[in-house]
């Protein structure tokens, strides 16, 4: 297995840096696509089960996704710390201790966030959502929320395996989880062959079981690839110095993630103000946009690892070239998404809706318009996450957090409200505001990386 300490030569060409990002980034991107595909499977199957269930799972999964992403900040803090540790002689012990404390913090976070999961119906009602949608979303989260524990543990192990460049195993397990989740959902939602038909509740149970199985598979791989005493030996023993390092790096990452993911969750709330059909269409388009976005996340994770190694040896030229290579690859992915969303919107949207539902034409029409807006901000969305990944590689997370807070909440969210409601542009305006925030964040994050660290 290639190790994180395998340093790219100082005189390496740009092509070598591009290959380094691709070699690590493609399997990581694939694993992220598989993760999103689990949520997309819930949306796809419940879209064929009923529009009310589709709207509810859109609201519920948006909330779960927000909580999971924010908690993943502590898992993502493991990537640069492990990459930097393994780039140095004898850094394996430090890498293992960092990962163990990442698991500790993830578990503590999950315990605290179970309360809003169990009170989700009340929270949705307070946010102005329709009573029936809030009730069903609450039913979903009261069960699906327990999947937060294995999901966060799995994210921490994915980060560790990514940093030691065992990304292929991460992809393989994540891909297997998609098929497991699809099978469980089909059986639990629709109840074929006389089995109980659980509907929305079945989707929640299937997701929890899938998260548990994914964590178990990753744990087996992590135990096998870890040299020396093993990753899980003396897991119960605290290492407060490493605990503080993961916490110090992870809190700003979580803050930045909250700023972005919270913006998209707030957009779901605003779409809910427009009605059930716009919210359902928003949910479908958001799933499709997320599938493309996580390709950028995979490249960003690879950039974090490679820049982390270069940063540990103070190779500024390599960091600059890795930054350029990452942006180039992200731009190619964005152009592919634009071609897909603008070229064949209706066939994509039809797969997520029930042909017999009388509201299907309205959902398709609204969804096609939103897909055009999603295509518009693909480039901005990809570039800003690359900027965050590059800065995480040099363990710079505090300033990026404040950049995202200003970009998304002081610019993006107000712009969404003004365009969507004050100007009366509806869903198109809500999504247009998202593009404003993403563009501002992308510009500032890249400026900071290239100005300060290369």
Q: How many CB atoms lie within 10 A of CB 385?
A: 26
Tokens 């899938």 identify what position?
A: 210
Highest mean pLDDT among 42-46, 305-309, 351-355, 372-376: 305-309
Average of per-residue pLDDT across 125-140: 87
pLDDT at 390 over 70: yes
Q: What is the 3-state secondary structure (H, E, C) of the chain?
A: CCCCCCCCCCCCCHHHHHHHHHHHHHHHHHHHHHHHHHHHHHHHHHHHHCHHHHHHHHHHHHHHHHHHHHHHHHHHHHHHHHHHHHCCCCCHHHHHHHHHHHHHHHHHHHHHHHHHHHCHHHHHHHCCCCHHHHHHHHHHHHHHHHHHHHHHHHHHHHHHHHHCCCHHHHHHHHHHHHHHHHHHHHHHHHCHHHCCCCCHHHHHHHHHHHHHHHHHHHHHHHHHHCCCCCCCCCCCCCCHHHHHHHHHHHHHHHHHHHHHHHHHHHHHHHHHHHCHHHHHHHHHHHHHHHHHHHHHHHHHHHHHHHHHHHHHCCCHHHHHHHHHHHHHHHHHHHHHHHHHHHHCHHHHHHCCCCCCCCCHHHHHHHHHHHHHHHHHCHHHHHHHHHHHHHHHHCCCCHHHHHHHHHHHHHHHHHHHHHHHHHCCCCHHHHHHHHHHHHHHHHHHHHHHHHHHHC
pLDDT at 3 over 50: no
Q: Does 6 fall in a domain?
A: no
Q: Does 1 fall in a domain?
A: no
What confidence category does residue 1 fall into, taking pLDDT thresholds of 50, 70 and 90? very low
406 contacts: CB under 8 Å, gap ≥ 6: 440
Q: How many CB atoms lie within 10 A of CB 14?
A: 12
What confidence category does residue 4 fall into, taking pLDDT thresholds of 50, 70 and 90? very low
| Selection from 259, 271, 284, 269 nearest residue 420 by Cα | 271
pLDDT of residue 115: 93
- Judge contact between 282 and 141, C-beta under 8 A: no
What confidence category does residue 355 fall into, taking pLDDT thresholds of 50, 70 and 90? confident
Q: How many CB atoms lie within 10 A of CB 212?
A: 17
Q: How many domains does the chain have?
A: 1
Tokens of 188: 């639990």
Highest mean pLDDT among 136-140, 227-231, 268-272, 417-421: 417-421
pLDDT at 205 over 80: yes
% pLDDT > 90, the chain = 43
Q: Model confidence over 397-431: pLDDT tens digits?
A: 999 999 999 999 999 999 999 999 999 898 889 98
| Selection from 400, 395, 398, 393 nearest residue 310 by Cα | 393
% pLDDT > 70, the chain = 95
- Judge contact between 382 and 331, C-beta under 8 A: yes
pLDDT of residue 357: 73
Which of 110-119, 206-215, 376-385, 412-421 comes out lowest in average pLDDT? 376-385
Using alpha carbons, list the distances in angstroms from residue 373 to 345, 427, 429, 431: 12, 9, 9, 6
- Judge contact between 203 and 251, C-beta under 8 A: no
Q: Does 300 fall in a domain?
A: yes
Tokens 């996580």 identify what position?
A: 294
Q: Model confidence over 232-241: pLDDT tens digits?
A: 888 888 899 9
Q: How far apart are CA 412 and CA 434, in angstroms?
A: 5
Distance linking the first and last C-alpha atoms of the chain: 29
Q: Does 441 fall in a domain?
A: yes
Backbone angles phi and psi of 199, in degrees to 5: 60, -130
pLDDT of residue 84: 87
Q: Does 259 fall in a domain?
A: yes
Average of per-residue pLDDT across 382-393: 94
Supply the range of the domain harboring residue 84.
14-453
Tokens of 399: 């300033």
Q: Does 3 fall in a domain?
A: no
Q: Does 340 fall in a domain?
A: yes
What confidence category does residue 319 fall into, taking pLDDT thresholds of 50, 70 and 90? very high
Q: How far apart are CA 349 and CA 351, in angstroms?
A: 5
Q: Does 440 fall in a domain?
A: yes
pLDDT at 2 over 80: no
pLDDT of residue 12: 64
What confidence category does residue 249 fall into, taking pLDDT thresholds of 50, 70 and 90? very high
What confidence category does residue 5 fall into, taking pLDDT thresholds of 50, 70 and 90? very low
Average of per-residue pLDDT across 254-276: 84
What confidence category does residue 9 fall into, taking pLDDT thresholds of 50, 70 and 90? low
Largest CA distance in the chain: 65
Environment class of residue 232 by beta-carbon count within 10 Å: exposed (0-12), middle (13-18) or buried (19+)? middle
Average of per-residue pLDDT across 430-439: 91
Following CA atoms 298, 268, 108, 209 in sequence, which dihedral angle do they give, to the nearest 10 degrees?
-70
- Judge contact between 153 and 106, C-beta under 8 A: yes
Average of per-residue pLDDT across 147-157: 94
pLDDT at 89 over 90: no
């Amino acid at each position: 297995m290639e190790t994180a300490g395998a340093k790219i030569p100082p005189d390496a060409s740009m092509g070598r840096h591009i290959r380094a990002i691709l070699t690590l980034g493609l399997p990581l991107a694939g694993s992220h696509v598989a993760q999103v595909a689990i949520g997309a499977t819930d949306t796809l199957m419940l879209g064929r089960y009923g529009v009310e269930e589709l709207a509810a799972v859109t609201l519920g999964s948006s909330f779960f996704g927000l909580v999971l992403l924010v908690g993943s900040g502590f898992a993502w803090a493991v990537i640069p710390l492990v990459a930097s540790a393994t780039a140095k002689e004898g850094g394996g012990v430090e890498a293992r201790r960092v990962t163990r404390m990442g698991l500790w913090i993830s578990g503590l976070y999950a315990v605290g966030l179970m309360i809003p999961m169990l009170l989700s119906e009340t929270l949705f009602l307070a946010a102005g959502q329709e009573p029936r949608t809030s009730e069903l979303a609450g039913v979903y989260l009261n069960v699906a929320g327990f999947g937060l524990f294995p999901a966060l543990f799995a994210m921490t192990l994915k980060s560790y395996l990514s940093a030691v460049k065992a990304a292929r195993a991460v992809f393989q397990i994540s891909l297997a989880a998609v098929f497991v989740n699809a099978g469980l959902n089909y059986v639990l939602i629709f109840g074929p062959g006389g089995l109980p038909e659980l509907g929305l509740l079945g989707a929640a149970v299937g997701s929890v079981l899938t998260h548990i199985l994914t964590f178990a598979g990753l744990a087996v791989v992590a135990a096998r690839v870890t040299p020396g005493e093993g990753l899980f030996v003396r897991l119960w023993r605290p290492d407060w110095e490493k605990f503080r390092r993961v916490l110090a790096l992870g809190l700003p990452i979580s803050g930045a993630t909250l700023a972005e993911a919270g913006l998209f969750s707030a957009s779901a709330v605003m779409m809910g103000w427009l009605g059930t059909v716009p919210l359902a269409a928003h949910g479908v388009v958001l799933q499709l946009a997320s599938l493309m976005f996580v390709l950028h996340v995979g490249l960003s994770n690879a950039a974090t690892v490679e820049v982390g190694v270069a940063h540990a040896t103070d190779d500024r030229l390599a960091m600059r070239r890795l930054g350029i290579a990452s942006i180039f690859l992200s731009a190619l992915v964005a152009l592919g998404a634009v071609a897909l969303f603008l070229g064949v919107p209706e066939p994509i949207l039809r797969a997520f809706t029930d042909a017999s539902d009388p509201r299907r034409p309205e959902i398709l029409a609204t969804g096609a318009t939103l897909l055009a807006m999603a295509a518009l901000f693909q480039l901005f969305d990809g570039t800003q996450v690359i900027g965050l990944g590059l800065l995480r590689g040099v363990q710079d997370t505090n300033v990026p957090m404040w950049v995202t807070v200003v970009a998304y909440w002081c610019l993006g969210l107000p712009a969404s409200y003004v365009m969507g409601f004050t100007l009366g542009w509806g869903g198109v305006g809500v999504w247009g505001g998202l593009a404003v925030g993403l563009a501002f964040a992308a510009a500032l994050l890249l400026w900071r990386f290239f100005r300060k660290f290369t």
